[in-house]
Amino acid sequence: MNPVRWGVLGAAKFAREHMAPAIHAAEGAELAALATSDPSKAAGFVAFCPGLKVHASYEALLQDPGIDAVYIPLPNHMHVEWTLKALAAGKHVLTEKPIAMRAREIDQIIAARDRTGLLAAEAYMIVHHPQWQRAKAWLEAGEIGTLMHVDAAFSFNLTEGGNIRNRPETGGGSLRDIGVYTFGSARFVTSAEPVDLSARIHREGGVDVFAQVAGIMEGPGGRFTYGSMTSMRMYNRQVVTFQGTNGMIRLEGGPFNANVNDLAEVELHQNGNRVTVERFATANHYKLQVETFGRTVREGTAYPCPLEFVRGTQVMMDRVYEVAVEI
């Protein structure tokens, strides 16, 4: 079966360091083209993919008949526009998170996906990682009893003023950048949705650099309490805990940046001081994401993170902004 031929829309640093190499390495995928108006920015991509075709504009790449799918790592505020343009051009599309700034914007992407019959997805890579799949399987198997509480934290210290995460006009802020992880991971593992939320936010330069969220979520196993913290002004920290009546599942060290900040592993703590630890030293969730995307495109298999799931996380995000108290 022919590989999915990918084009990358924009020479973003993240694309150069993570996603483009993942596409290049993935089975059933071929990194075929890049769109950038700055030839010097293409050099880092061509270094590991010498046969890469470089287009001088985004439009030219979308018009390339040799491209099947497009990866979009553009600034947040440009995601909806170029996702819709890619679908209109007949390309499958994988767009960086958040795919939209508001939940209602995702509706038009869903409509375009359904109208064209193409695959459109947000690059929510963690659901493709075996550590998160294991956490979900343990919870659903009742390994920790009745779920009572979930808490999540994700922080890093970003002081670079010109970075798009620090700019309100490009959709910056800790919630849009990393809140999708603390919110989405809880929703993925528990299949639950929030029924009550409160939040406290601190802003600098027009973007939230700290957010603390608390609430109640409800899923197949009943109701449980939820808490999360995100910050772009704190030392690196990533941890998610699912606490039940008879045990606890914990992902710590690098659950969102697996094998970057620390070794990817998930722990199961149970009564009698029993601890089970599973480590995933070689799993690359970016590569796994590309391969899963490709199977859906080529074989029609169900995609594990459809836009409907993505919309649910954005609904939660929208609600947090609505109820947040400034501190």
Q: Sheet harboring 193-204: ordered strands across? A: 274-279, 265-270, 247-252, 233-244, 147-157, 222-231, 207-219, 193-204, 325-326
Asked whether 51 and 33 are in contact (CB, 8 A), the reply is no
Among the listed residues 91, 97, 136, 287, the single catalytic one is 97
> CA 235, CA 60: separation in Å to the nearest integer?
41
End-to-end CA distance of the chain: 55
Query: What are the tokens at 81?
Result: 């526009």
Taking only Cα atoms into account, the Rg of the chain, rounded to an integer number of angstroms, comes to: 20
CA 134 vs CA 63, 282, 325: distances in Å: 41, 15, 36
CA 60 vs CA 34, 50, 275, 325: distances in Å: 10, 20, 54, 45
> CA 285, CA 283: separation in Å to the nearest integer?
6
Asked whether 294 and 4 are in contact (CB, 8 A), the reply is yes
Torsion sign (Cα): 41, 42, 46, 48: positive
Task: Output the CA angle 83-113-165, nearest 5 degrees.
Answer: 30
Q: Is 287 assigned a catalytic role? A: no
Catalytic center residues: 97
